[in-house]
Structures are given as C-alpha cells and as structure tokens.
A and B are shown apart, each in its own frame.
Chain A
Amino acid sequence: MSSHQATSGNGLNAEQLRNSLASIAASNGIRRWDLGAACSTDISVQVDRGEPKQMKGAQRSSITVRVWNDAGLVGVTSTSDLSDTGLERALTGAKEASAFGNADDIPAFSPLATAPLASLDQPIHQPQGILRLLDTLKGAEQELLASHDAIATIPYNGLAERSSERIYLNSDGACRQQQLSTASLYLYARAEEAGRKPRSAGAVRLAYGAGDLDVAGCIHEAAERTISHLNYAPIETGRYTCVFSPEAFLDLIGAFSGLFNARAVLDGVSLSNRDSIGETLAVPFLDIHDNGLHPGNIGASAFDGEGTPTKRLALLEGGVLRNFLHSEATARAFGVSPTGHAGMGAKVSVGPDWFEIGTTPGSDGGQAGLNRFKASEPIVWIDSLSALHAGVKASQGSFSLPFDGWLIQNGEPRSIEAATVAGDIRQVLKAIVGFEGDAKVTPDGLCPMVWVEGLSITGEA
C-alpha cells in the first residue's frame, strides 16, 4: 500500500486527490486530464419471516480518468484503487489508451464545467445503523404478512442506507463535489390461494434518510397491489385502449429515450435524426421535459459526468421535438450548449435524468374527465411492465412486453393472468387519448395516468 490514499475516512478528499493527480500527471508528461470519482458506504438488510436473512455493508470507491495526449487524442481508464499506485496506473493506462483515441470525435472539457450550480435541497442524514434498519424491516414485513391470509412470504425485501460523494476535477481548475445520503425500502409480496396460481406485487420508497421513509405507505401499497391480483383471469387477445400507470409509462419512455439522445442520433441508432428538431412526434397536448433538479428526484445530481450543471430541458412541447440531450461533444456537433446529461468515458455516453410528463400548458390536454372505472368499453390498465431489456427494440421503435395489470369492465377491475402488450413507440405517442388524475412523483419521474388507444394485447385465453 502506498503512503497516500485519496480518501479520508468514508469520504473523498478532493484537494488531496487533485494534488496527487497533478503530481502523477506531471511526472508522466501528462498536461491535460480530467477525473470523475465516486465513493460510497452502504448498509442494507433483508429479512425472512421475522429472521434476518442477509445483512450487508459495502465501502466502494472508483475513479475514471481521461488523458489527452500530445496529438490531442483522448484515452480513459477506470480503477477502484485510489492509492497513489492505483492513480498512477490509471493515468498511465489512459495515456496508453489515448493512442487509440478517435480523431473524428474528440471530447473536450465542458465550457460549463465551472459554471454556477443550482442549489439542491438534499439534507444529509446520519445513518441509523443496521440494527435499527433490521427492526424497521422486521416490523414492515410482519405488518405486510398480516395484511391478508394469502400473503405468506415477502420474498424480495430490503431496507438500505447510503452515504455517497462524487467529484469532478480537471486540469483547467474545475472542481465539483457533491455529497448525498439516501435510503430505500422495497417490499415485494407473494400471495397464493389453494388451487390458484401464486401472485405477486410490490412497492418502493426512497428518501434522504431512513427515518424519512414512508414505511406505512410502502406496506399499504404492496399489500393493496398484491391483493388486487389475487382474483385473476385470462384476457382475450385483441386490441384495447390501455391506461398506463405513471411508472409503466415512464418505463416505456425511458426505454425509448434514444429518441431524444444526441449521441444515438450521431451514431445512427436513434429513431430521430439530425433534422428532427421541430418535428411533431406526439399528440399536440403532450409535454416531456427532463428535469434532474426536480425536488422529487431523490438522488439528484447537480452536475453530470463532465461537470456540466444539471438543468430542466424541454424535449417535447406540444408534441413537437424541441431539444436533444447532449454531452459536450454532441453539443459541439450540433452547435448548441451541453445540457448536463453526459457520462464519462472515451466515448461519452448521454442519458436522461428524470422525466416530467404531462399536459402542454394552454392545450386541451386530450379528452377531458377520463376515468378508468367509468369507461364504456373494456380497457386494460397496465400497472407495471417487465423485461424491458429483452422486449424493447429501441432502434426500431417496437416493443412486446409482459405486464401486470387489470381488465376493467363495467367499472370493475379484474387482474389479468398473463399477457403482453406490443406496439411501436411512434404510434403510441400519437395514439395518446389524454391523461387521468394528477401527475405522480415516482423514482423515474413525474407522470399522470396515460390513456393510449389501439394497443395489441396478447393473453392466454
């Protein structure tokens, strides 16, 4: 072990990290570099019918360094070894990799890497400790088990606390640092009745500290959703008007976020192209913004992997494509400013933060007064989608996905035994009928219930 380690206790020491990097870079003839570092400590518990199942702790650290060589080409290396030895190996590895940098697409420092950051209201909570987490989770499990005779196990459950810190530094003097504490709870119940198939459903809650978690709400939601699937029946294959829950619609939009991704556009794998800005992609009453700064976004980052500040960005307004998500390099290629959506790497990735989906201000918002339980014809309520990694063809626009949900007829919901929903995202965006209810804050964004007509449902009937 070398004498220096760029961590102090459970956190990162930005000044020491900068000094170490600068010194190692200078001694290796490296003049231009930047770095992203992350460090976290986690504890988590799982229980099984009153007994602790597994208790876990983790201390993680990682850095990614980029180096520009004398020819201006970029190389990158990652390591979890934050000792001076590890940093030197990373820097020299990046220098070696820079010989293979892509001369046609050279990332640069973000022009916004020193711009002011938004102030985030993210209170830091001290960890409660594993024994209190265990007590809380045991109590939650007991309460959920008691909520219905059919619920015999909570096979997937967990309560976790995390303290984390991240840094962005570059050789031009940029220095970003952010600390965060978060907690999460998930409860996934399994229910079974004699002669019937097992059914399951769950709920998740996030907060800045374990003491702020809505434990009761999570128990109630997991119980209610599980019980609501007990009375199930097959559904006939056909076309239905579907009502997506906020979570399900956000999953679908997230899976096709390549529509808004400048990197995917430049790579030729997006459904959009360089000239798509200004095109109508959706019904005229749909707005989609990306807003990592929303107060509901637990775990929001104030800056992206290149140090660019996070901001609210209009993607669709009135159904019209307004902006792409950008890194520094894609923004330069499009002649715009970086938007704060970059990762860090030799080939910089671009991705969304947190969606806000809803009605275009001033529009009619589609059909008024939508209510699942008053629909005149059978409709399918899609509560959650699964297997998005397998059932989504992002570059083709098509999807075919299993889902949990209910068939609603005459105002009565009945759980659907097993089914898939299939379609094309471009058709979905133009087949939105309207929104139902208020927008709901979820871990992935803000969205109301979304009605879409004419989707193909395959059931076992």
Chain B
Amino acid sequence: MIAAAPPTTGVLDSHWSPALEDLLASGRAAGADLVEVFLERTDHLGVLAEQDTITSVTPAFGMGAGIRVFLGKRDGFVSTNDLSPAGLRRALEQALGMLGLATSANGRSSFDGLPALRDFAASKGDWLQRCPQIQEATARLLEGTDQLQRQGSHLQARRGSYARDWQEVLVAASDGTFGRDIRLHQSVGLNVLAADGEHRAGVGRRYGTSDQPDDLRRWDATASAAEVCGSAGTMLYADYVEAGQMPAVLANRFGGVIFHEACGHLLETTQVERGTTPFAERVGESIAHEAVTAIDEGLTGGAFGSLSMDDEGMEAQRTVLIQNGVLQRFISDRAGELRTGHARTGSGRRQSHTFAAASRMRNTYIDAGPHTPEQLIASVDKGLYCKSMGGGSVGPTGQFNFAVEEGYLIENGQLTKPVKGATLIGEAKEVMPRISMCANDLELAAGFCGSVSGSIFVTVGQPHIKVDSITVGGR
C-alpha cells in the first residue's frame, strides 16, 4: 500500500519519501527497469498594462505529477493533477499497463529506497515572498507604459506585461535520484504599435531573468522604453526589404535565434531518435565554419535557461557543442542516452508535469570571436543587417526560418536605410559553414522555446556574426 501523502498544497520535500518509495518499489516489482516520479507545484502571476491602465491581473496555481516507466528502450508516461495516494497509484498502474506490466501484491522489488534528498532549493525558500507583489508589479508596469508614452511618437497602442513563474519540483527515480528545486522566472515585455496613415510598425521586446527575486525592481523601464520606441520610430516609415540571396550580419543577443533554430535543435538527441538531424553520425567532423564555437549550458547566473538541476534531477553542466567548427557532442536526456548512446548532459527539460522530459536547450550561444562588429559590416558590399530578430522555427528536414524585426541595408560596408518584412530561411547544413566571422561582443537574451516537451525558458545568444549568403524573403 502507498503511504499517506502529505497535503497537496504543502511543500514538496523529504516528507514525500515514503510515498515515493512505495511508488518506485511497486513499479520495480512489476518489472519496470526504471520508474521516475516528477512532482510539481506552480505559482504564476501575470499582469497586463495597456496605455495607462492595468487591464488584467491573473494569478494561477498548479500542481501535478508525471510518472514515467521504462522497460528496455520503451517508456510509458502518465500525468495527473490528482496527488492523492490513490491518484498517484492509478497513474503508476496506467503507465505500467502501457508496457504490459502490472503491480502485484506479492511482487518483490530490488529497489533499495531513496537516498537523502539533494535539496537545491534550500536557499530559495523565501524567493516567492521576496518577489514584487501585485501592487508593486502593477506600479512598475505602469511606469513602463508611461515611459513609452513619453519617449514614443505616433503610438496607437502601448502595452506592458509582467510574468512571474515560480515552480517547485521534486524528482525521484528508482536509480537513486532524489532532488528538489525551486525555479523562478520573471519577465517584462514592452510592446507598441505605431501608426501614421498607412505606415504601421509593431515592435516588442521582452526582458527576463531566472532566480532573481528583485529582478523587476532593478528593471530599467526608461532604457527599455527607449529601445522599443527607438525601433518603432525607425521601422514606422521603413520600406519593405528587397528579396533575394545576400550576405547578412546578425546582431548579438537575440540574433542567437539563428543558431538555436538552424542548428541547436538538430543537436538534441530527440532529433537523433527521430532520424531528423543531418548531424547524427558526424561527431568529430566539421559541420560549421572554423570561426564557430557553440555552447549549451545551464550555469550562467540569472540567465533565463539556467537551472540547478534538470527535470530528471541531474545537475546542469556546460556542454561544448561545436569547437572551431567541429561537432563535439549532442544535448541528451535520460531517454536520449538510453536510445542513442549519447551521455546525459543535464538537459532533460519539460514545461510541466504534463510532459515527459526531453533533451532541450538551456543557454545556447555562439561564442565570441576576434572581430569588431564594425569589421563585419565593413566586409559586406551589399547585404542585410539584422538588428533585432523575431521568432523562428525548424522543420523535420532541417530547414529553418526566422523573422527580422528591425533590419537595415548594408551598402558599401555602411548601414544605410531601414527595411522591414524580411524572413530568413535556409538549411542548417548549408548555413553553418557560411558563418564566417564572429565579433567580440557576445550577449545573451531571454526567450521561450516550444518543442516536444512544451514551452520552456531558454537563452539564446551570440556576438555579431556574418553569414556569407542566406535567402532573404520579402516583397
């Protein structure tokens, strides 16, 4: 029998050991090779300010469990909101049943019990209380939209949004994993729509950190509004870009989305499993220009994609993906290691208990190079400078795309007029060798990544880089 579980609204800590050990032992006794339980509590706050009014305050609370059972290379995964002993038992039995297994009153388990809890959250217990409460968050957002009004022109709509995502997790597995963590992500977004007759420009920026309860207090609303309004003012009267093949210089920070989409996803073991990456058999081979060194890690303090432990209870680490153009290794999770042989890298991540963990990026960036940004631009006779990138995606054949939010023509080595409406498309295998120059101004930017295990917090980044030739879609 499963021991009585602690109250579902209480802390997820070592008081759960008996209940979890019973689940893990039952699963092992049923014949599972490995059983993993992921418990979660969440506390979300969203605030929206439009013009000079708070128009939405949305607290949300969540809880749930995800139970995953492995047998050979197969796995069954069941999630539930019911953390009662009976609810968890039902979920376990359903997961076992998917693999043709069933619990038995007489089953013997080789499971020895859980070790002492590795508590990565020990110093994080007061984080939620240290975050700005609703009153303070609303005041800061209104400061942001006020700054937009002061600094912008032709603004038809101004919007500020704040999101605070607090998550407590407890991970236990029959291989002796037993870890607890608290994650805290906060982000502020500013968006404007500028309109003047037929000219319109919508510009948005999001600023985010992890593990910093005071982040919103330190946010520089004036500087953020200046960045957004400056971009909107420039793009309002910009012409549409002329389409074609051309060299491009991509700015640092969110420009890193090109590597994230073009290559990062293809270095996840989920893609190796599916047979959808062209790089599966190419470890040790050159897959990019020698100017390119690329890293995925979860260690940078405050970065959106940083984590003390992943969602499988493994500590984060620094993983060099590409060194001077040569592929070094893949980003791997538990199932990825099992099915592809690539060792785990602390990259098993999921949006919530409703998803099984999968190999996902953390803070992913191209490393700094020796040049200045000016040298990159000066090396282009006619091309596109992408100062700010929008979102992007990659398909099952490795073809990627992403939108340019703020762009400029490069003519004779100089930035000239602003252009809008550009989409960059290409294929990783072809584009990576064309990243021929990296500047010395590496910076990171917060973002969200949607994939097989849901939408997760990630960081993208790069210095200014030059791509010798890329397809620019436009009008």
Task: Contact check, B9 vs A390: say whether CB atoms are below 8 A apart.
Answer: no
| Whole-angstrom distance between the Cβ of A281 and the nearest chain B Cβ | 15
Partner of B473, one of A59, A153, A393, A458: A458
| Whole-angstrom distance between the Cβ of B266 and the nearest chain A Cβ | 12
Task: Contact check, A58 vs B473: say whether CB atoms are below 8 A apart.
Answer: no
Task: Contact check, B62 vs A79: say whether CB atoms are below 8 A apart.
Answer: yes
Tell me whether A153 and B78 are in contact in the complex, defined as CB-CB below 8 angstroms, given that A55-B98, A237-B243 are known contacts.
no
A54 contacts partner chain B, Cβ-Cβ < 8 Å: yes
A395 contacts partner chain B, Cβ-Cβ < 8 Å: yes
Task: Contact check, B74 vs A51: say whether CB atoms are below 8 A apart.
Answer: yes
16 contacts between A and B (CB under 8 A): A7-B82, A57-B78, A59-B79, A59-B87, A60-B79, A75-B57, A89-B61, A94-B59, A100-B54, A156-B274, A267-B50, A267-B157, A386-B401, A390-B401, A400-B473, A422-B474
Most A-side CB within 10 Å, residue of B7, B63, B473: B473
Partner of B392, one of A7, A55, A387: A387
Chain A 191-204, CB-CB to B under 8 Å as 1, else 0, gives: 00000011110000
Residues of chain A lying within 8 A (CB to CB) of residue B425: 402, 418-420
The chain A residue sitting closest to B404, CB to CB, is: A400
Which of under 10, 10 to 19, 20 to 34, or 35 or more describes the interface residues of A? 35 or more
A267 vs B55: C-alpha distance in the bound complex, in angstroms? 11
Task: Contact check, B156 vs A268: say whether CB atoms are below 8 A apart.
Answer: yes
The chain B residue sitting closest to A402, CB to CB, is: B401
A99 vs B61: C-alpha distance in the bound complex, in angstroms? 19
A198 vs B56: C-alpha distance in the bound complex, in angstroms? 46
Residues of chain B lying within 8 A (CB to CB) of residue A386: 393, 395, 401
Task: Contact check, A80 vs B421: say whether CB atoms are below 8 A apart.
Answer: no
The chain B residue sitting closest to A98, CB to CB, is: B57
Tell me whether A100 and B57 are in contact in the complex, defined as CB-CB below 8 angstroms, given that A130-B97, A155-B274 are known contacts.
yes
Task: Contact check, B474 vs A400: say whether CB atoms are below 8 A apart.
Answer: yes
Task: Contact check, A100 vs B138: say whether CB atoms are below 8 A apart.
Answer: yes
Most A-side CB within 10 Å, residue of B81, B244, B393: B81
Task: Contact check, A57 vs B94: say whether CB atoms are below 8 A apart.
Answer: yes
Residues of chain B lying within 8 A (CB to CB) of residue A90: 61
Residues of chain A lying within 8 A (CB to CB) of residue B472: 458
The chain B residue sitting closest to A200, CB to CB, is: B396
Task: Find residues 51-83 in chain B having any chain A CB closer than 8 Å to their own CB.
Answer: 53-64, 73-83
A102 contacts partner chain B, Cβ-Cβ < 8 Å: yes
| Whole-angstrom distance between the Cβ of B336 and the nearest chain A Cβ | 12
B347 contacts partner chain A, Cβ-Cβ < 8 Å: no
A401 contacts partner chain B, Cβ-Cβ < 8 Å: yes
Task: Contact check, B61 vs A85: say whether CB atoms are below 8 A apart.
Answer: no
A153 vs B276: C-alpha distance in the bound complex, in angstroms? 9
Task: Contact check, A346 vs B471: say whether CB atoms are below 8 A apart.
Answer: no
Tell me whether A190 and B275 are in contact in the complex, defined as CB-CB below 8 angstroms, given that A269-B193, A460-B245 are known contacts.
yes
B403 contacts partner chain A, Cβ-Cβ < 8 Å: yes
Partner of B471, one of A52, A155, A460: A460
The chain A residue sitting closest to B64, CB to CB, is: A80
Task: Contact check, B56 vs A347: say whether CB atoms are below 8 A apart.
Answer: yes
Tell me whether A60 and B81 are in contact in the complex, defined as CB-CB below 8 angstroms, given that A80-B63, A398-B421 are known contacts.
yes
Chain A 1-38, CB-CB to B under 8 Å as 1, else 0, gives: 10001010000000000000000000000000000000
Task: Find residues 63-86 in chain A having any chain B CB closer than 8 Å to their own CB.
Answer: 75-83, 85-86
Tell me whether A56 and B78 are in contact in the complex, defined as CB-CB below 8 angstroms, given that A76-B58, A81-B9 are known contacts.
yes
Task: Contact check, B401 vs A387: say whether CB atoms are below 8 A apart.
Answer: yes
The chain A residue sitting closest to B245, CB to CB, is: A460
Task: Contact check, B402 vs A397: say whether CB atoms are below 8 A apart.
Answer: no
- Residues on B lying within 8 angstroms of A by beta carbon are 5, 7-9, 47-48, 50, 53-64, 73-84, 87, 90-91, 94-95, 97-99, 134-135, 138, 156-157, 193, 200-202, 240, 243-245, 273-276, 278, 354, 356, 390-393, 395-399, 401-403, 420-423, 425-427, 471-475
A296 contacts partner chain B, Cβ-Cβ < 8 Å: no
| Whole-angstrom distance between the Cβ of B64 and the nearest chain A Cβ | 6
Task: Find residues 95-115 in chain A having any chain B CB closer than 8 Å to their own CB.
Answer: 96-97, 99-102, 104-105
Task: Contact check, A58 vs B354: say whether CB atoms are below 8 A apart.
Answer: yes
Residues of chain A lying within 8 A (CB to CB) of residue B156: 268-269
A53 vs B98: C-alpha distance in the bound complex, in angstroms? 11
Residues of chain A lying within 8 A (CB to CB) of residue B423: 387, 390-391, 400-402, 420, 422
Task: Contact check, A402 vs B397: say whether CB atoms are below 8 A apart.
Answer: no
A130 vs B99: C-alpha distance in the bound complex, in angstroms? 10
Residues of chain B lying within 8 A (CB to CB) of residue A268: 156-157, 193
A1 vs B86: C-alpha distance in the bound complex, in angstroms? 11
How many contacts A-B (CB < 8 Å)? 248
Residues of chain A lying within 8 A (CB to CB) of residue B84: 1
The chain B residue sitting closest to A105, CB to CB, is: B55
A152 contacts partner chain B, Cβ-Cβ < 8 Å: yes
Task: Contact check, A397 vs B97: say whether CB atoms are below 8 A apart.
Answer: no
Partner of B475, one of A93, A156, A423: A423
Task: Contact check, A395 vs B202: say whether CB atoms are below 8 A apart.
Answer: yes
Task: Contact check, A237 vs B401: say whether CB atoms are below 8 A apart.
Answer: no
A410 contacts partner chain B, Cβ-Cβ < 8 Å: no
Partner of A86, one of B61, B94, B200: B61
Residues of chain B lying within 8 A (CB to CB) of residue A345: 56, 58
A126 contacts partner chain B, Cβ-Cβ < 8 Å: no
Per DSSP, chain B at the interface is strand
| Whole-angstrom distance between the Cβ of B37 and the nearest chain A Cβ | 15
Residues of chain B lying within 8 A (CB to CB) of residue A5: 82
A199 vs B60: C-alpha distance in the bound complex, in angstroms? 42
A37 vs B278: C-alpha distance in the bound complex, in angstroms? 45
Task: Contact check, A458 vs B48: say whether CB atoms are below 8 A apart.
Answer: no
Residues of chain A lying within 8 A (CB to CB) of residue B243: 237, 420, 422, 456, 458
A354 contacts partner chain B, Cβ-Cβ < 8 Å: no
Residues of chain A lying within 8 A (CB to CB) of residue B396: 155-156, 188, 190, 198, 200
| Whole-angstrom distance between the Cβ of B400 and the nearest chain A Cβ | 9
A385 vs B448: C-alpha distance in the bound complex, in angstroms? 22
| Whole-angstrom distance between the Cβ of B241 and the nearest chain A Cβ | 9
In order of increasing CB-CB distance, the 5 nearest A-B pairs are: A420-B473, A458-B243, A390-B391, A155-B274, A347-B56
| Whole-angstrom distance between the Cβ of A191 and the nearest chain B Cβ | 9
Q: A76-B57, A76-B58, A422-B473 are in contact. List 8 more A-B contacts (CB 8 A).
A: A81-B8, A86-B63, A100-B54, A197-B397, A390-B401, A395-B200, A400-B422, A402-B423
Residues of chain B lying within 8 A (CB to CB) of residue A224: none
Partner of A102, one of B53, B94, B244: B53
| Whole-angstrom distance between the Cβ of B250 and the nearest chain A Cβ | 15
The chain A residue sitting closest to B54, CB to CB, is: A100
Residues of chain A lying within 8 A (CB to CB) of residue B134: 96-97, 99-100
A55 vs B273: C-alpha distance in the bound complex, in angstroms? 15
Residues of chain B lying within 8 A (CB to CB) of residue A237: 243-244
Residues of chain B lying within 8 A (CB to CB) of residue A390: 390-393, 401-403, 423
| Whole-angstrom distance between the Cβ of A97 and the nearest chain B Cβ | 5
| Whole-angstrom distance between the Cβ of A421 and the nearest chain B Cβ | 8
A86 vs B398: C-alpha distance in the bound complex, in angstroms? 44
Task: Contact check, A400 vs B403: say whether CB atoms are below 8 A apart.
Answer: yes
Residues of chain A lying within 8 A (CB to CB) of residue B201: 396
Residues of chain B lying within 8 A (CB to CB) of residue A152: 275
Task: Contact check, A422 vs B475: say whether CB atoms are below 8 A apart.
Answer: yes
Residues of chain B lying within 8 A (CB to CB) of residue A395: 157, 193, 200, 202
A61 contacts partner chain B, Cβ-Cβ < 8 Å: yes
Tell me whether A89 and B275 are in contact in the complex, defined as CB-CB below 8 angstroms, given that A54-B75, A58-B80, A78-B61 are known contacts.
no
The chain A residue sitting closest to B99, CB to CB, is: A55
A61 vs B84: C-alpha distance in the bound complex, in angstroms? 14
Task: Contact check, B9 vs A89: say whether CB atoms are below 8 A apart.
Answer: yes
| Whole-angstrom distance between the Cβ of B86 and the nearest chain A Cβ | 9
| Whole-angstrom distance between the Cβ of B332 and the nearest chain A Cβ | 16
Tell me whether A60 and B58 are in contact in the complex, defined as CB-CB below 8 angstroms, given that A200-B397, A396-B201 are known contacts.
no
The chain B residue sitting closest to A59, CB to CB, is: B80
Task: Contact check, B77 vs A57: say whether CB atoms are below 8 A apart.
Answer: yes
Residues of chain A lying within 8 A (CB to CB) of residue B82: 5, 7, 59, 61
Task: Contact check, B397 vs A102: say whether CB atoms are below 8 A apart.
Answer: no
